[in-house]
Homo-oligomer: A and B are copies of this chain.
Amino acid sequence: MQVEVMKNILGENDSIAEDNRKFFHDKKIFVLNLMGSPGAGKTSLLEKSIEQLKSKLNLAIIEGDLFTAKDAERIDKLGIPVVQINTMGGCHLDAPMIQKVTNDLDIDSLDAVIIENVGNLVCPAEFELGENKKAVVLSITEGEDKPSKYPLIFKESSLIVLNKIDLLPYLNFDLERVKKELSVMNPRAKIIEVSATTGQGISEFCEWIRNEVEHEAF
């Protein structure tokens, strides 16, 4: 019975996600669903990237979080539009939540929206939001076994960001082995190494976003 309920919830979500997708497409907006564990460094990655992106793109951020507006406050300081969604304990964003907040953005002025999902390597991958692409941030401090233990999120992502790469010398983490495993698991995904602390790889992340915005078949 739980399975049946889950199917209904997902079915309803997918239908609203399609509405969102059509809405954003009509407005010619590229939408990225950015996922990852708690503490993978999603907000830090955005902070660093916004500095480079904001002069070239009209970008807005939708922040998903359980209760606080901490991440939205961090983004707001950078002078780009940001909307906070609080899931009130819920472990992922869903399509109706996104639909509800689109009115809070000056949609017609935007080229791209990045949605930072709730910190969670499981549930967010199951809920379409109406995005063009999914990306996952994996901090290398989380360990080599995460892709094989949480395969769905890595299989569904078009971009895999290996973050906190500056800590590599202090960890037991075989970077080449993990990259190889990821490329077998998801051959079409681009993999980039990033440090939101040192700035390494941030340009590459920004370039990927800008390419996606340009090449999206609007």
* Interfacial chain B residues near A130, Cβ < 8 Å: none
Question: Are B89 and A149 neighbours in the complex by a CB distance under 8 Å?
Answer: no
A residues 28-51 near B (Cβ < 8 Å) are 37-39, 41
* Complex CA–CA separation, A5 to B172 (angstroms): 43
Chain B residues in 8 Å Cβ range of A89: 122, 126, 152
Whether A68 and B38, one on each chain, are in contact in the complex, defined by CB atoms closer than 8 angstroms, is: no
Q: Report the stretch among A138-146, A178-186, A205-213 that lies at the interface.
A: A138-146
Question: How many angstroms between the C-alpha atoms of A68 and B145 in the bound complex?
Answer: 10
Q: Which residue of B lies closest to A41 (CB)?
A: B143
A1 to chain B, nearest CB (A): 9
Say yes or no: is A118 at the interface (Cβ < 8 Å to chain B).
yes
> How many copies altogether?
2
CA distance A170 to B41 in the complex (A): 15
A107 in the interface (beta carbon within 8 A): no
Question: Which B residues lie within 8 Å of A197 (CB)?
Answer: 172
Residues of A within 8 A of B (CB): 2, 5, 9, 37-39, 41, 65-68, 70, 89-91, 118-123, 126, 139, 141-143, 145-146, 148-152, 164, 166-167, 170, 172, 197
**Knowing that A37-B142, A139-B141 are A-B contacts, what are 10 other residue pairs whose CB atoms are under 8 Å apart, sorted by A's residue number?**
A38-B149, A39-B139, A39-B141, A39-B142, A70-B149, A89-B122, A89-B152, A119-B121, A120-B121, A167-B170
